[in-house]
Amino acid sequence: MNKLKRWIARLPEVLREWKWLGHYMKRYWLGIGFYIALGLLGVAMGLIVSVAQKNLINAVTAENKILKEIITAASVVISLAVLQIFLNAGSNWISTRINIRVVNEVREDIFKKIIATRWESLVSYHSGDIINRLEGDVSTIAGGIITFVPSLITRLAQFIGAFVIILYHDPTMAIFAFVSAPVLLITGRPLMKIMRKHNEKMRDINGRILGFNEEVFHNIQMVKAFDLGATYCKNLRALQAEYKKIRLDYNRVTIGMSILMGFLGLIAGYSCYAWGVYRLYVGAINYGEMTLFISLTGTLSASFSGLVHIIPSAITTATAAGRVMEVTQLPAEADEYAAEAKALGELAREQGVRLQVRDVSFRYKDAETDVLSHVTFDVEPGQVVAFVGPSGGGKTTVLRIMLALLQAREGSVTVSSADGTVSIPLTESVRRLCAYVPQGNSIFSGTVESNLRTVRPDATEEEIIEALKAADAWSFISVLPDTYRSVVGEKGHNFSEGQLQRISIARAILRDAPILVMDEATSALDIDTEARVLRNVMTKNPNRICLITTHRASMLEYSDVIFRVDGDGCFQRLNSAADLKVSDLQPDGDPDEVKA
């Protein structure tokens, strides 16, 4: 009774998952229809071949053998067999093309939804887990979308067709063949439950292993520097031992179930075979009909087995759908002020923009205290605003709010043109007006040019070189064999941290946005280089707002306004750099980079 209650409680979730899958099934109805047509054609060909083989055996074993009938029957069998070869090859080629298209389009659609998810919701998931859902789960979903309904219809048609032919020739044998259906179906139910539980565990451990590998190779320099290779190999072995246990536990149960179902199928099959031998012995059927019965009994058993295994397949697909739904149904970003942001961008070219922050408070999820409490300030066009304070005080949090990566719990932030004619709240749409230089290495593998063109695909060669010069990067880029078309390795391993930082700054300059956000952006530069870069940034666009976080006193020389953020909600405007505390200028990283 309790098991029935649990199954009933689980049913709405499975139905919700398949309802979500139904959205994609409607989109690919033409491909699904093609699969159904191919399946039905294959079933028909298989049944016709069985009947044709019966006719050939009857012609060969007849008392009055007629050579013409034997040749005709043999020709039909051979022709059908050759036709099946070409049909299978053609259908395989076409179905592969359909499957590739569905996998690619579904993966792209899911990728877009994940990218559009609010950052604060998304960062609670490990990147390895997200990749596992995007790759493994999406492939399972795409396969289920395109094959579930065709497989169900094809197997049913195969069962009905074989049963009708057997029933036509011998009703008793049809009953023998039919009794195996409920037996196989009943014994398959425990397997379905095990499959569901197993799939959830397997996908979880696969995601953890993928995430572990990703982190290790991402930080391979640190692993080698600390001589931690043996330690991380040991950690991988522990994960693999867990994987082995989960896989073998499932394997033991499924082997037992397979043996049980195999014996039941064997009993049903040999019952039909024994009845056929008896009917042949008493002369009720001929050799051709006996061959037909054996062939169709196997077909009937195969269709039973296929129908039973469709249900675990459906559960596997539903499990994958549930995991993907979990991340795609997180709160999504809203680009509701796109038109206004575009208009504001046009005005900003001439006059810049103004930021107005009013009574903003923010607290991270599950935190007990506010990082920011009732913060109010204005930023005028052309101003450089520095946020300083102890590590973990909330400097990066302020920038994340300015980039609409985090949503303020209270208060408002408004972006307006200098003349006040256009004004919009700070939402995701405002990112069109921003350029960003994050902490750490944010360069992608490819070329220097491809990294810069991501923010402005239409940039000219002169504009790219000008941006590199402004970031003081042209001095080392120009001497490379391929200059700005030089290859950047994964995580920029063939460049120094200072060089990568300058390429990142060049990318932000090329964006030519009215708001430049720089999070510890010059930490790897010497003071002279830092000075040149900041002068170039402001000279290139005097109306640009520059929001920076820093632990370096040298950066404050170029700041018009300095705010101290101390982590307990206090947000204080300083009269000068002389009001800073010693802890504000410690050159270490900012833990609130990972606080969310």
Strand-strand pairing, 384-388 and 423-425: unpaired
Say what the pLDDT of residue 577 is: 67
* 8 A C-beta contact, residue 328 and residue 115: no
- pLDDT, tens digit (0-9, with 9 covering 90-100), for 329-359: 888 888 888 888 888 888 888 888 999 999 9
Say what the pLDDT of residue 233 is: 84
DSSP state of 429: G
Q: How many beta carbons lie within 10 A of that of residue 571, not counting itself?
A: 22
Say what the pLDDT of residue 357 is: 92
Cα–Cα distance measured from residue 283 to residue 275, given in angstroms and rounded to the nearest whole number:
12
SS3 assignment, position 486: coil
* 8 A C-beta contact, residue 264 and residue 180: yes
Query: In one letter, which amino acid is 297?
Result: T
Q: How many beta carbons lie within 10 A of that of residue 391, not counting itself?
A: 18
Query: In the numeric block, which tokens belong to residue 500?
Result: 């990568």
Q: Which domains does the chain have, with CATH numbers?
A: 9-328 (1.20.1560.10), 353-590 (3.40.50.300)
CA angle centred on 421, ends 417 and 422, rounded to 5°: 60
The one-digit pLDDT tens for each residue of the chain (596 residues) are 554 555 555 567 777 888 888 888 888 888 888 888 888 888 888 888 888 888 888 888 777 777 777 888 888 888 888 888 887 787 778 777 777 888 888 888 888 888 888 888 888 887 778 888 888 888 888 888 888 888 888 888 888 888 888 788 777 777 766 665 555 555 555 555 666 677 677 777 877 787 787 777 766 666 766 677 788 788 888 888 888 888 888 777 767 766 776 676 667 666 767 777 777 777 777 778 778 777 777 777 777 767 766 776 777 788 888 888 888 888 888 888 888 888 888 888 888 899 999 999 888 887 788 888 888 999 999 999 999 888 777 888 899 999 888 888 899 999 998 888 889 998 888 888 999 998 877 888 889 999 899 899 999 999 999 999 999 999 999 999 999 999 988 777 888 888 999 999 999 999 989 999 998 887 778 888 888 888 888 777 888 899 998 877 777 878 889 998 886 767 888 877 666 666 666 544 443 433 33
Cα–Cα distance measured from residue 216 to residue 47, given in angstroms and rounded to the nearest whole number:
55
Cα–Cα distance measured from residue 393 to residue 569, given in angstroms and rounded to the nearest whole number:
9
3-state SS track over 118-131: CHHHHCCCCHHHHH
Q: How many beta carbons lie within 10 A of that of residue 328, not counting itself?
A: 19
SS3 assignment, position 270: helix
Cβ neighbours of residue 585 under 8 Å, at least 6 residues apart? 388, 551, 552, 553
Cα distances (Å, whole numbers) of residue 161 to 45, 269, 286, 303: 11, 18, 21, 10
User: What residues pair up with 519 in beta bridges, in sequence order?
Assistant: 549
Cα–Cα distance measured from residue 347 to residue 338, given in angstroms and rounded to the nearest whole number:
15
Phi first, then psi: what are they for 261, rounded to 5°? -65, -35
Strand-strand pairing, 410-417 and 423-425: antiparallel
Query: In one letter, which amino acid is 358?
Result: R
Cβ neighbours of residue 543 under 8 Å, at least 6 residues apart? 348, 350, 351, 352, 381, 382, 418, 514
Query: In one letter, which amino acid is 590?
Result: D
CA angle centred on 563, ends 557 and 566, rounded to 5°: 125
Phi first, then psi: what are they for 369, rounded to 5°? -130, 160
Say what the pLDDT of residue 261 is: 66
SS3 content of the chain, % helix, strand, coil (to 5): 65, 10, 20
Number of helices (H) and strands (E), helices first, in the chain? 19, 12
Write the DSSP assignment of 235-263 as a string of letters: HHHHHHHHHHHHHHHHHHHHHHHHHHHHH
Cα–Cα distance measured from residue 219 to residue 228, given in angstroms and rounded to the nearest whole number:
11
Query: In one letter, which amino acid is 172?
Result: T
Closest CA to 55 of 35, 43, 69: 69
User: What residues pair up with 372 in beta bridges, in sequence order?
Assistant: 362, 569
Cα–Cα distance measured from residue 24 to residue 106, given in angstroms and rounded to the nearest whole number:
8
Closest CA to 550 of 568, 536, 531, 564: 564
- pLDDT, tens digit (0-9, with 9 covering 90-100), for 171-204: 777 776 666 555 555 555 555 566 667 767 777 7
The burial class, CB within 10 Å (0-12 / 13-18 / 19+), for 400 is buried
Phi first, then psi: what are they for 413, rounded to 5°? -130, 130
* 8 A C-beta contact, residue 561 and residue 573: yes
Strands of the 372-379 sheet, one edge to the other: 372-379, 353-362, 410-417, 423-425
Cα–Cα distance measured from residue 360 to residue 369, given in angstroms and rounded to the nearest whole number:
14
* Residue 345, H or E segment: helix 338-351
* 8 A C-beta contact, residue 475 and residue 557: no
Query: In the numeric block, which tokens belong to residue 100?
Result: 């590739």
* Residue 268, H or E segment: helix 229-281
SS3 assignment, position 336: coil
Cα–Cα distance measured from residue 291 to residue 549, given in angstroms and rounded to the nearest whole number:
83
Say what the pLDDT of residue 592 is: 41
